[in-house]
Amino acid sequence: MQKYMFYGAYTPEGYKGLLAEGGTRRAEAVRMAAESMGGSLESFYFSFGENDFYVIVSLPDNVNATAFTLTGNVSESFLMKTVTLLTPEELDKALSIKVDYRMPGQ
């Protein structure tokens, strides 16, 4: 399973829905969506500032993460972005790969 962080901001319509159902029900809806795709919800946080929420979800692959993002963004309730998360071990593996690359101007 791959971990993804989804974050974003509610639209005015999204705020209306949030006011009507509350935060706990919103987190439950996200948990159910992730589970319907073979994944799981790790954490859900509301926040102050530029973004209204941060969610960490485990999903089988990038295709499912894309479907999750697209489904959310077409809802017109919020605009969401996706970040693929790496474990320290995955980063170590990436660092061990030698890439034959020429820098611009060299």
pLDDT of res. 69:
95
Q: Which long-range contacts (CB under 8 A, 24 or more apart) does 86-89 make?
A: 87/3
* pLDDT tens track, the chain, 106 positions: 999 999 999 999 999 999 999 999 999 999 999 999 999 999 999 999 999 999 999 999 999 999 999 999 999 899 999 999 999 999 999 999 999 999 899 8
pTM of the model as a whole: 0.88
25 neighbors 91 (Cβ within 8 angstroms): no
The structural domains of the chain, ordered by start, are 2-95 (3.30.70.1060)
